[in-house]
Structure 1
């Protein structure tokens, strides 16, 4: 065999082996409760991975009771495990703090990021009839927060931070009733957190007319959350950008996942994101700039892809 033929054969063999490494890749993706927007996102990612890899990557979506459970399961999972959680929670797990106090495990140190997904975005939604365009004007108004959710807890926190605790009436009802209650004039506004555009805000804006309040720089600093801008035109009647806060959410795996699989998952995600926008507009809110929200290591396989496309990475990501 000539040297040229040997080199060609070697290159072909390498290509075949590389393809085989992920040609029948099975992934378990653990996200959120069935029926939630994040479970819907997981299903969309599963479908996008299948289409983008021409069937080579198969993603099974598992229901989850929440981000803490997702992180805790790292202890017993293998290299095929992908899960979603806020970056801050990974830091708490690795430090054995808060809800992870006394539960620290060495496997938490192996957690590595793949890619950002839509953030939990705070919406303070006030009816046009309430004539409320800033937080000070919420005084004397009735607002629905719901209960038990991140949005409800965060909304209550902001009301207290901004000096409105004794000035705002909190309606005793579930968030699922918010739009109807707003239409009927039973409440002046509601607070919700979810990826934007949020379905309940879309409905309220189209049927009643609403103002989604912006936070000023001081209020954002007080919240200790990540600033996020909802572009003008996202909701009916919204002529200006909305400056609000968010809780970033990221898809993670662990060092147990091989580099080729992490590379292919990350590459396929970004290359099919535009297709997912056609299914749900919340994917429009995801950009490479959101890599800055990742505060811990990114999987080396994903880093390879980000370097290929010239994405900005920090020292903490390596």
Structure 2
């Protein structure tokens, strides 16, 4: 072969090889929550896990979000690289055009598919030991901080009304970020917060003073129409027994625009990395395969393939 032609062929081979390597990386956008929140941090941890677990084949970019409704709405304009988190119930509302999605229905919502569960939004009713409060009824006559604008604040207000406490407690006019300091200073008797467990502000409160995190009875949980969740004994300082409370499941979703192989790899890597994720951040330890039961809609075919290979049972409605 002509030396010049030979060199050109070799150069072309290198170029093709480089292009193949360049296109081997799959880029994914992960949209979850506001910067600084625990769910944003989870996204960062997931991105690192995906990179390590796929040897760099999947690259995840984290996008800040203003909330779950926005995450769902953006499905209309996103492509096959979009992964987002939201409670499964919100997906159902979007597909039915109800509540906050009334008049905003879109065929794209019907193409939403689940991948895997992430830590649930878990209700914590944190009371100082000095308050003597051991159950919800004992909150009567106490000063409680609910915060403003968050799921925990809205849910806390709902529970006060549900259990006849609205006019029997004093709701402190302060931000949730001041809860631990206010509890330590005796300005409040307790606070309500929602987030993954163990919750950083509850850890801080329990480490700095004796507190009681209240349990709800099965009847109370049934009245809330939320999902029952158990926080194991020893999760927080001084916690000698399990805490039974409510939660709002949260799931990582994508759409049918994502190819099956990518959905498979994302799901496989998540579950295979979960133990290591839990070593870094204990909130991942609260996630298990049973939480797939909280997914009422369909799971992406690529993820279904992984679950079938792993021997994890799914319902016919999920496939």
Q: Which category describes the TM-score, using the shorter chain as reference length? A: over 0.9
CA displacement at 1:183 relative to structure 2? 0.5
Give the match for residue 125 of structure 2: 124
Q: How do residues 43-58 of structure 1 correspond to structure 2 at under 5 angstroms?
A: 43-58=44-59
SS in 2 for 1:313: coil
CA displacement at 1:23 relative to structure 2? 3.4
CA displacement at 1:130 relative to structure 2? 0.5
Distance in 2 (alpha carbons) for counterparts of 1:170 and 1:52? 46
Distance in 1 (alpha carbons) for counterparts of 2:310 and 2:210? 42
Q: How do residues 149-168 of structure 1 correspond to structure 2 at under 5 angstroms?
A: 149-168=150-169
SS in 1 for 2:237: coil
Distance in 2 (alpha carbons) for counterparts of 1:285 and 1:23? 33
CA RMSD of aligned residues (A): 1.3
Query: Is 1:73–2:56 an aligned residue pair?
Result: no
Greater Rg by CA: 2
Distance in 2 (alpha carbons) for counterparts of 1:222 and 1:108? 30
Distance in 2 (alpha carbons) for counterparts of 1:49 and 1:199? 25
Q: How do residues 145-224 of structure 1 correspond to structure 2 at under 5 angstroms?
A: 145-224=146-225
1:210-230 CA deviation, whole Å, 9 max, x = no partner? 111000011101101011000
Q: Give the length in aligned residue pairs.
A: 300
Distance in 2 (alpha carbons) for counterparts of 1:112 and 1:136? 41
Distance of aligned partners of 1:142 and 1:22 in 2 relative to their CA distance in 1, 3 Å threshold? farther
- Where in structure 1 do 4 or more consecutive aligned residues deviate above 6 Å? 19-22
Distance in 1 (alpha carbons) for counterparts of 2:268 and 2:259? 14
Q: How do residues 238-253 of structure 1 correspond to structure 2 at under 5 angstroms?
A: 238-253=239-254
Gaps of 5+ in 1: 1-18
Query: Is 1:101–2:84 an aligned residue pair?
Result: no
| Equivalent residues of 1:142, 1:168 under 8 A apart | yes
| Equivalent residues of 1:82, 1:253 under 8 A apart | yes
Distance of aligned partners of 1:292 and 1:309 in 2 relative to their CA distance in 1, 3 Å threshold? same
| Equivalent residues of 1:32, 1:39 under 8 A apart | yes
Distance in 2 (alpha carbons) for counterparts of 1:20 and 1:163? 63
CA displacement at 1:279 relative to structure 2? 1.7
| Equivalent residues of 1:22, 1:56 under 8 A apart | no
Give the match for residue 140 of structure 2: 139
CA displacement at 1:312 relative to structure 2? 1.9
Distance in 2 (alpha carbons) for counterparts of 1:112 and 1:22? 25
